[in-house]
Amino acid sequence: MKKRNLISTALMGILISLAISTSAEIVNYDKGVNYAQYIRRDRYLDAEIWTDDDEYYEGDKIRISFRANKDCFVAIYNIDTRGRVNLIYPVEPGDAPRIQGGRIYQIPDSYDDYELTVQGPTGTEYLQIVASSDPFPMPRWFDGSGLICDNDPFDFLDYINASYFGCGYDCIRALDMTSFEVKEWHQYYFRPVYNYDCPDWSLCGSVYIDYPFGATIYIDGIYWGVAPLFIPRVYYGYHYITIYDHYGYCWEDRVNVVRYKSIILDQAIVKPNQGIKSRYRDVIRRGYVDPEKNGYPEYKKEVRIKETYKSISRQKPDYSNDKTRTVYKERSYNESKQDREAYRTHQKTQDRDNSSGKSRSGELKVEKVKTATKQSEKSGSYNTDNTEKKTSEPRNGEVKTKSTPKQASPSTTKSGNSGRSREKR
């Protein structure tokens, strides 16, 4: 009895600390406590949160979307790749946390004058939404929370939900969580200036264009940027990539982008030539363009930075940690022609061997004629006799005869126009 009283007293102490935690600065995290048991779910309120992609690179713009099925009060916070906890919504102290049910909200919205940028280092970032039908105290984390997650992020999310957004067993909440991966953008590469849709990674591959430095890059007739250029996502399939160097020389080829893999176009592949012309008239008209006037206003400054990475990054690239990369192999017309000729020679040899009765090992085949001997081309049917035909020449006054055909087995019978085999007369 005393033991039960001690347990209930300890439990009440934890609940009281959780109930008044919103007014405290920081509640200490205890690894031995299962904070999920102190969170009650609202069965009638549903909240959702998501991003426009599940993978981002450092410096990418991100947009967060959320909604609820009923009018409610919400708060959104994150655990970034460094483990820091930050309040995402409300954005400012004066913002109202109440939202309308059934409406999709975005951060930032179209009328906002700011952008959300993905920061490094590489890792996984978590977004959590907390919703309640009744107003609840909001932690004032507009300048940071001071919390650092250095343990299991899911347990830490339960700790935050229970300690800062819960109130014991008297309150219920609607919760939802999403996450995305943050990858590092190598400083050697320029970013594309073409605003393209970021499709799902399962439908895409990546393209690295390393050469020539400062060249103009077109994909399927559209200007994408300057080399060295990295494009994280390109729809899988064939694309025409056109490159113009600062001399106005052109290189163009049809490149097959493979899902989950990267194509690397370096100096061994890209060889601009004065005699090459693009298949796109608009590309021929534009050709090489000045990067400073076409999407890269600080091009000269960026070049000085990227040149410091050139000797390290491109002379001896180390792709040992990235097994998904593959080097695009250019196939010239002569190589393709040789392959076709070799295939035709092989086919002729195989047909000649088949017609002479030779097998692959060069030995003669001994074929037994069982059934279904072909009839004349006029009748177009098949004979299923198991007996031999008499081939004696007819004498004067005699008629050429045949032996009586035996009953054909069902397995060897092929149906003609009448549904059964016929004799050759």
pLDDT for 351 = 59
Which of 77, 95, 72 has the alpha carbon at shortest distance from 87?
A: 77
pLDDT tens digits, 265-292: 999 999 999 999 999 999 999 999 999 9
Amino acid at 174: A
What are all long-range contacts of 268-271, with beta carbons under 8 Å and residues at least 24 apart?
269/327, 269/328, 269/329, 269/330, 270/209, 270/210, 270/211, 270/212, 270/243
pLDDT band at 37 (very low <50, low <70, confident <90, very high): confident
pLDDT for 383 = 42
pLDDT surpasses 60 at 415 = no
pLDDT for 140 = 84
Q: Which domains can be identified in the chain, with CATH numbers?
A: 2-183 (2.60.40.1930), 201-327 (no CATH)
pLDDT tens digits, 312-359: 444 444 444 444 444 444 444 344 455 556 556 655 665 565 555 544
pLDDT for 50 = 95
- Which of 16-25, 47-56, 129-138 is least confident? 16-25
Strand partners, 374: 382
Q: How many CA atoms lie within 13 A of 268 on its CB side?
A: 8
Q: Whose structure tokens read 């060295």?
A: 228
As a whole-number percent, the residues of the chain with pLDDT over 90 amount to: 37
Backbone angles phi, psi at 48, to 5 degrees: -130, 150
- Between 91 and 70, the more confident residue is 70
User: What integer is the mean pLDDT of 178-184?
Assistant: 89
pLDDT for 364 = 37
Torsion of CA 275, 281, 285, 287, to 10 degrees: -50
Tokens of 398: 């005699």
Which of 58, 72, 291, 281 has the alpha carbon at shortest distance from 172?
A: 72
Other Cβ atoms within 10 Å of 332 Cβ, number = 8
Instruction: Select the highest-mean-pLDDT range: 114-123, 364-373, 408-417.
Output: 114-123
CA distance 82 to 121: 7
pLDDT surpasses 70 at 2 = no
- Return the ∠ at Cα 301 (arms to 300 and 305), rounded to 5°: 115
User: What integer is the mean pLDDT of 370-383?
Assistant: 41
pTM above 0.85, yes or no: no
User: What integer is the mean pLDDT of 93-117?
Assistant: 87
pLDDT surpasses 50 at 7 = no
pLDDT surpasses 50 at 211 = yes
pLDDT for 226 = 95
Strands 55-57 and 174-183: parallel
User: What integer is the mean pLDDT of 169-198?
Assistant: 84
- Between 130 and 376, the more confident residue is 130
Of how many residues is the chain composed? 425
Residue 278 and residue 342 in contact, taking contact as beta carbons nearer than 8 Å: no
Residue 287 and residue 294 in contact, taking contact as beta carbons nearer than 8 Å: no
Residue 29 and residue 156 in contact, taking contact as beta carbons nearer than 8 Å: yes
